[in-house]
Structure 1
Protein backbone atom coordinates (compact mmCIF):
# COMPACT_ATOMS: atom_id res chain seq x y z
CA UNK A 1 0.00 0.00 0.00
CA UNK A 2 2.70 2.46 1.00
CA UNK A 3 4.96 1.38 -1.87
CA UNK A 4 2.11 1.71 -4.35
CA UNK A 5 1.35 5.24 -3.12
CA UNK A 6 5.03 6.19 -3.30
CA UNK A 7 5.40 4.86 -6.85
CA UNK A 8 2.15 6.57 -7.84
CA UNK A 9 3.50 9.90 -6.56
CA UNK A 10 6.83 9.40 -8.33
CA UNK A 11 5.17 8.65 -11.67
CA UNK A 12 2.79 11.59 -11.27
CA UNK A 13 5.80 13.88 -10.76
CA UNK A 14 7.51 12.37 -13.83
CA UNK A 15 4.34 13.04 -15.83
CA UNK A 16 4.29 16.67 -14.66
CA UNK A 17 7.96 17.10 -15.61
CA UNK A 18 7.35 15.62 -19.06
CA UNK A 19 4.44 18.01 -19.63
CA UNK A 20 6.53 20.97 -18.44
CA UNK A 21 9.29 20.03 -20.89
CA UNK A 22 6.71 19.75 -23.66
CA UNK A 23 5.61 23.33 -22.94
CA UNK A 24 9.24 24.49 -22.92
CA UNK A 25 9.69 23.00 -26.41
CA UNK A 26 6.45 24.59 -27.66
CA UNK A 27 7.36 28.03 -26.28
CA UNK A 28 10.88 27.81 -27.71
CA UNK A 29 9.59 26.82 -31.14
CA UNK A 30 6.95 29.55 -31.21
CA UNK A 31 9.41 32.26 -30.19
CA UNK A 32 11.85 31.12 -32.88
CA UNK A 33 9.04 31.16 -35.42
CA UNK A 34 7.68 34.58 -34.47
CA UNK A 35 10.78 36.53 -33.41
CA UNK A 36 14.06 35.02 -34.66
CA UNK A 37 16.11 38.23 -34.06
CA UNK A 38 15.79 37.72 -30.29
CA UNK A 39 18.02 34.64 -30.43
CA UNK A 40 20.62 36.29 -28.14
CA UNK A 41 18.11 37.19 -25.43
CA UNK A 42 18.86 35.46 -22.07
CA UNK A 43 15.47 33.72 -22.06
CA UNK A 44 16.11 32.29 -25.52
CA UNK A 45 19.59 31.16 -24.49
CA UNK A 46 18.08 29.35 -21.51
CA UNK A 47 15.43 27.71 -23.69
CA UNK A 48 18.17 26.71 -26.15
CA UNK A 49 20.17 25.09 -23.35
CA UNK A 50 17.10 23.19 -22.20
CA UNK A 51 16.02 21.92 -25.62
CA UNK A 52 19.30 21.42 -27.47
CA UNK A 53 20.24 18.06 -25.81
CA UNK A 54 16.96 16.43 -26.84
CA UNK A 55 17.23 17.77 -30.38
CA UNK A 56 20.84 16.58 -30.62
CA UNK A 57 19.89 13.02 -29.69
CA UNK A 58 17.21 12.95 -32.40
CA UNK A 59 19.42 14.58 -35.02
CA UNK A 60 22.15 12.04 -34.36
CA UNK A 61 19.94 9.23 -35.70
CA UNK A 62 17.40 10.93 -37.98
CA UNK A 63 17.86 13.78 -40.47
CA UNK A 64 15.29 16.27 -39.20
CA UNK A 65 15.60 19.22 -41.59
CA UNK A 66 13.43 19.03 -44.71
CA UNK A 67 13.07 22.02 -47.06
CA UNK A 68 14.51 24.33 -44.41
CA UNK A 69 12.06 23.24 -41.71
CA UNK A 70 13.44 21.52 -38.62
CA UNK A 71 11.19 18.71 -37.44
CA UNK A 72 13.28 17.81 -34.36
CA UNK A 73 10.90 19.62 -31.94
CA UNK A 74 7.91 17.78 -33.41
CA UNK A 75 9.66 14.40 -33.13
CA UNK A 76 10.65 15.12 -29.52
CA UNK A 77 7.09 16.24 -28.70
CA UNK A 78 5.60 13.07 -30.17
CA UNK A 79 8.09 10.92 -28.28
CA UNK A 80 7.46 12.68 -24.97
CA UNK A 81 3.69 12.55 -25.39
CA UNK A 82 3.91 8.84 -26.19
CA UNK A 83 6.01 8.33 -23.08
CA UNK A 84 3.53 10.27 -20.97
CA UNK A 85 0.25 8.96 -22.39
CA UNK A 86 1.23 5.36 -22.88
CA UNK A 87 4.02 4.24 -20.59
CA UNK A 88 3.41 6.41 -17.53
CA UNK A 89 -0.37 5.93 -17.66
CA UNK A 90 0.07 2.16 -18.15
CA UNK A 91 2.32 1.95 -15.10
CA UNK A 92 -0.10 4.08 -13.05
CA UNK A 93 -3.08 1.93 -14.04
CA UNK A 94 -1.14 -1.22 -13.19
CA UNK A 95 -0.23 0.17 -9.77
CA UNK A 96 -3.81 1.20 -9.02
CA UNK A 97 -5.09 -2.26 -9.75
Structure 2
Protein backbone atom coordinates (compact mmCIF):
# COMPACT_ATOMS: atom_id res chain seq x y z
CA UNK A 1 0.00 0.00 0.00
CA UNK A 2 2.92 2.36 0.55
CA UNK A 3 3.52 2.46 -3.22
CA UNK A 4 0.00 3.74 -3.84
CA UNK A 5 0.39 6.24 -1.00
CA UNK A 6 3.64 7.57 -2.47
CA UNK A 7 2.04 7.74 -5.92
CA UNK A 8 -0.86 9.79 -4.55
CA UNK A 9 1.55 12.12 -2.72
CA UNK A 10 3.49 12.64 -5.93
CA UNK A 11 0.33 13.36 -7.93
CA UNK A 12 -0.83 15.82 -5.28
CA UNK A 13 2.51 17.63 -5.24
CA UNK A 14 2.73 17.89 -9.04
CA UNK A 15 -0.89 19.03 -9.26
CA UNK A 16 -0.30 21.67 -6.59
CA UNK A 17 2.73 23.07 -8.42
CA UNK A 18 0.97 23.00 -11.81
CA UNK A 19 -2.05 24.84 -10.43
CA UNK A 20 0.17 27.45 -8.78
CA UNK A 21 2.10 28.03 -12.01
CA UNK A 22 -1.12 28.34 -14.01
CA UNK A 23 -2.49 30.81 -11.46
CA UNK A 24 0.60 32.99 -11.91
CA UNK A 25 0.26 32.74 -15.70
CA UNK A 26 -3.33 34.01 -15.37
CA UNK A 27 -2.15 36.89 -13.15
CA UNK A 28 0.64 37.82 -15.58
CA UNK A 29 -1.79 37.73 -18.52
CA UNK A 30 -4.20 40.00 -16.68
CA UNK A 31 -1.43 42.47 -15.87
CA UNK A 32 -0.13 42.45 -19.43
CA UNK A 33 -3.60 43.13 -20.80
CA UNK A 34 -3.62 46.49 -19.00
CA UNK A 35 -0.66 47.86 -21.00
CA UNK A 36 -1.79 47.05 -24.57
CA UNK A 37 0.96 44.53 -25.45
CA UNK A 38 2.34 43.80 -28.89
CA UNK A 39 0.20 40.90 -30.22
CA UNK A 40 3.14 39.56 -32.25
CA UNK A 41 5.42 39.17 -29.26
CA UNK A 42 6.03 35.43 -28.70
CA UNK A 43 5.60 35.71 -24.93
CA UNK A 44 2.26 37.49 -25.30
CA UNK A 45 1.12 34.95 -27.88
CA UNK A 46 2.11 32.09 -25.55
CA UNK A 47 0.25 33.63 -22.61
CA UNK A 48 -2.88 34.17 -24.68
CA UNK A 49 -2.68 30.69 -26.21
CA UNK A 50 -2.40 28.97 -22.84
CA UNK A 51 -5.02 31.03 -21.00
CA UNK A 52 -7.63 31.98 -23.58
CA UNK A 53 -9.35 28.56 -23.82
CA UNK A 54 -10.12 28.59 -20.08
CA UNK A 55 -11.02 32.27 -19.95
CA UNK A 56 -13.23 31.96 -23.04
CA UNK A 57 -15.26 29.18 -21.42
CA UNK A 58 -15.79 31.32 -18.33
CA UNK A 59 -16.82 34.31 -20.45
CA UNK A 60 -19.19 32.18 -22.51
CA UNK A 61 -21.13 30.84 -19.52
CA UNK A 62 -20.81 33.78 -17.13
CA UNK A 63 -20.98 37.36 -18.34
CA UNK A 64 -18.32 38.55 -15.93
CA UNK A 65 -17.60 41.97 -17.42
CA UNK A 66 -18.19 44.67 -14.85
CA UNK A 67 -17.71 48.30 -15.80
CA UNK A 68 -15.39 47.44 -18.67
CA UNK A 69 -13.27 45.11 -16.57
CA UNK A 70 -13.08 41.43 -17.44
CA UNK A 71 -13.50 39.49 -14.21
CA UNK A 72 -12.99 36.03 -15.75
CA UNK A 73 -9.36 35.82 -14.48
CA UNK A 74 -10.68 36.27 -10.93
CA UNK A 75 -13.18 33.45 -11.45
CA UNK A 76 -10.40 31.18 -12.77
CA UNK A 77 -8.10 32.05 -9.86
CA UNK A 78 -10.88 31.27 -7.38
CA UNK A 79 -11.41 27.94 -9.16
CA UNK A 80 -7.70 27.16 -8.91
CA UNK A 81 -7.68 28.00 -5.19
CA UNK A 82 -10.70 25.73 -4.70
CA UNK A 83 -8.94 22.87 -6.50
CA UNK A 84 -5.82 23.37 -4.43
CA UNK A 85 -7.69 23.43 -1.14
CA UNK A 86 -10.08 20.59 -1.95
CA UNK A 87 -8.49 18.21 -4.47
CA UNK A 88 -4.84 18.47 -3.46
CA UNK A 89 -5.66 18.28 0.24
CA UNK A 90 -7.91 15.29 -0.36
CA UNK A 91 -5.16 13.48 -2.25
CA UNK A 92 -2.66 14.17 0.54
CA UNK A 93 -5.06 12.95 3.23
CA UNK A 94 -5.87 9.83 1.24
CA UNK A 95 -2.17 9.12 0.79
CA UNK A 96 -1.47 9.53 4.51
CA UNK A 97 -4.28 7.14 5.40
CA UNK A 98 -2.88 4.52 3.03
CA UNK A 99 0.64 4.72 4.44
Deviations 1:36-60 (A, max 9, x none): 1433322111100010011011112
Number of residues of Structure 1 aligned to a counterpart in Structure 2: 96
Contact 1:22 1:77 (C-alpha < 8 Å) held by counterparts:
yes
SS in 1 for 2:63: coil
Counterpart for residue 7 of structure 2 = 6
Bigger proportion of residues as helix: 1
Q: CA deviation at 1:74?
A: 0.5
Which one scores higher on RCO, CA 8 angstroms, separation ≥ 6? 2
Distance 2:25 2:92 in 1: 25
RMSD over aligned Cα, in angstroms? Answer: 1.2
Aligned pairs for 1:81-92 (under 5 A) are 81-92=81-92
Q: CA deviation at 1:94?
A: 2.5
Q: Structure 1 length as normaliser, TM-score?
A: 0.90
Deviations 1:43-87 (A, max 9, x none): 111100010011011112100111110000000000011101222
Q: Structure 2 length as normaliser, TM-score?
A: 0.89
- Aligned in 2, Cα 1:43/1:94: closer, same or farther, shift over 3 Å? same
Distance 1:19 1:50 in 2: 14
Counterpart for residue 43 of structure 2 = 43
Unaligned runs of 5+ in 1: none
Distance 1:94 1:6 in 2: 11
